[in-house]
Amino acid sequence: MNSGALASLRCPDCAKSLGPPEGCPTCPGCARAFAPSDGVWDLLPHALDPVKTHEDEAHAEIGLPTWQRLFFHKRYWLEWCEKRWLPDLVDGRTRSFLEIGGGLCYASALAKARSPRAAVIATDVSPRYLRQHAIRTGEILGTPADMYAAVDAETLPFDDGQFDAVYSQVVLYRLPDPVRTLREIRRVLAPGGRYLGIERASPWMPGFAASEARALASRAREQGTRERAIRYREWLAILKDAGMEAYCLAPVPGGRVSAPWLRRLGNGARQIYVAIMFTR
């Protein structure tokens, strides 16, 4: 590995510092030992919300091969991430990059390609999915992350002030407490570090909003997970509760409609994507 030192870990159960992920660190507070298994570190807290546990159980079957998920199901996201979003977040000066809730974690592979010397950590709440697909994604794209770790986004197992760049993609709307996650992201950012999160804003017109909320709730019940319809104004309230300003939120320009006010207007009847951006 040619990158710099990986981030210093902290215990997800008692928040004591563990130092860098070398060997098999043991928590000085609760004596829990940590070690990678099949290339993935289990940094999840022992007490985990059932909806997060079900995220892992949903991948008991391997399902579609990684290459098919990557190039057929995620091809547009892959292109958008590489050409539209990461250039604003990662460059040759980036020393450390953290991806939260990455799933296939192609953003981590793309970040590693943009900044080969950066320490790149790819995470998801599902250790099973990381083993089955994220590691393989890094191999397919030719730039694997330096570390794959199963983490809870609401209790990030990293010491304060370490990451130059943090990225997430349609993750917060699936979490019980997105405010807590945003505070955690701010905590682990280094001074001057930047966060970019791409999220979905649900329609704001009552009939369309109710229809999407029912669809998301039905899918979540089937999987035992959580998906919540969050409208643009609700994202603003979430940011405010997390101590952030309204300018941290903006509609993602569409292929045909780029003006923010038109995107907001069209959001009345259909979902749009929004970008959450802030610097520590």
Q: Give domain limits for the chain.
A: 9-279
| Domain 9-279 -> CATH class | alpha beta
- How far, in Å, CA of 118 to CA of 89, rounded? 13
φ and ψ at 140, to 5 degrees?
Answer: -65, -45
pLDDT in tens, 131-189: 999 999 999 999 999 999 999 999 999 999 999 999 999 999 999 999 999 999 999 99
pLDDT in tens, 70-87: 999 999 999 999 999 999
Q: What's the whole-model pTM score?
A: 0.95
Q: Which residues contact 31 (CB under 8 A, 6 or more apart)?
A: none
Sign of the CA dihedral running 123, 124, 126, 129: negative
